[in-house]
Every structure is written in structure tokens, then in C-alpha cells.
Structure 1
Amino acid sequence: MCLANKGFPSDWTLSWMVDGSSSSSSWEEARSPGVLEKDGRYSWSSTLRIPADQWRNAGSVTCEATQGSQTPVRQTLRRDQCPQS
């Protein structure tokens, strides 16, 4: 799950990359619309589900927040940073 908060304006979007690839027909993405918080800023969330075999072979997953021509904001998580299940 990727959570972005304290953003403005309301039309930022969240997207995913796995090892630099930005889409796959086997991925499931669930995105929330921007939610207006009490402080007047917005929050968004997105959840990515990928098949277990793709996850085992992945090196990293990146969540990217974009809005218009603004520079994207990215956060990357390496698979080896996640607890083993």
C-alpha cells in the first residue's frame, strides 16, 4: 500500500512500478480518490497486488505520485527490506 498525505491540489494520482516497469495485466491496483482532510490538504492511497511469483523475482516496487507538470514524487521499497513470510 502506498499512502500520500498533506498534498494540494486534489488531482494527484498514484501509480506503481515494479523493477521500473509501469504496468502489467496481472497486477491489480486499487486507488482512492483524494480525501480532503481537516487541515485543508488531501490524502490518497493505492494498493498494488501482484502474483507471488512476480513478487519473488522483483527487486523493488516504486509508488509514484504525479500531478500535472509537477516533478513526480517517488518512494521505492526494495523487496529485501520486507519481512519474509
Structure 2
Amino acid sequence: MVTFVSLWWTFGSGTKLDVGTVSPPQVSVLQPSSAEISSKRTATLLCVANKGFPSDWRLVWKVLKPDGSSSSGGQESSSAGLLEKDGLYSWSSSLTLTEQQWMESASVSCEATRSGQPALTAGDTVRRQQCSE
């Protein structure tokens, strides 16, 4: 059995100090539903990241076109890290694209990143052609 102890202290009016081992979260991307695409003409993808430490991981979306260039746009919504009972954090983020942006994309990725630690990046990718229409 593996146990994890997260120690943290809050100082003054809210300065928080996390003490523990840096651990990248496990990241999964859920594809948009075909019903949403056909009825609302939008495609919402959900990124879920679990079991990361400390709380300052950020979820970043990347949309690539078939030629490998980046696509901009889309509406993002992200949650702050949620401290779980095991002392690790979970995050979620959604990205809503127009139907046209979705159809013009080759892949959509979500990555968990931390400032100053590019080597500790975790992510998952959805390839549009592999999604059910």
C-alpha cells in the first residue's frame, strides 16, 4: 500500500506553502459528443487531471491543424486545483470549439504544466479522425 502525505501551512491572510514531492498529474481528454456537434454546432472537450502535486499545475489546450500549425480560438474554462483526501490534487478544464474549428483540427491536446519545470509535462491527445461522427 502506498501512502502519500501532503503537508501544507497557510500564513497570514492566505499565503500557502505546500511541502511534498512534485508529481505530474495523470491527464485524460474526453472527446466531444456527436449529438452536441450536430445540434449545437459546437464541440466541447473535457480535460481531467488527477493525482498531481503541488497545487500549481496548469492545464493548457493545444489545437493543431492537419499541416501541423496551431489553431487559435475556442472558449476555455478551468478549475482551480481540488485537494483530495489522499493529499493530491485534481483539476479540470473544458474547451469549446465551433463546429468549423473542430472539423478543421487534426488533434486537440491538453497538457499539465508547471512554471519552470518543462520536463514534468503530462498530457493526452484526441485525434479528430479517430472520434465517432
Whether 1:11 aligns to 2:56 is yes
**How many correspondences in the alignment?**
82
Calculate the aligned-residue CA RMSD, in Å: 1.3
> Which residue in the other structure is 2:81 paired with?
34
> Which residue in the other structure is 1:47 paired with?
94
How many angstroms does 1:76 deviate by?
Answer: 1.2
How many angstroms does 1:69 deviate by?
Answer: 2.1
Q: Name structure 1 gaps, 5 residues minimum.
A: none
> Which residue in the other structure is 1:79 paired with?
128
Task: Output the CA distance in 1 between the equivalents of 2:131 and 2:80.
Answer: 27
> Which residue in the other structure is 2:113 paired with?
66
TM-score with structure 2 length normalisation? Answer: 0.58
TM-score with structure 1 length normalisation? Answer: 0.88
1:19-72 CA deviation, whole Å, 9 max, x = no partner? 052x62x31000000000010000000000011001011100010110122222
Please give the secondary structure, in 2, of the residue aligned with 1:33.
Answer: coil
Please give the secondary structure, in 2, of the residue aligned with 1:50.
Answer: strand
How many angstroms does 1:74 deviate by?
Answer: 2.1
Q: Relative contact order: is structure 1 or structure 2 higher (C-alpha 8 Å, sep ≥ 6)?
A: 1
Please give the secondary structure, in 2, of the residue aligned with 1:16.
Answer: strand
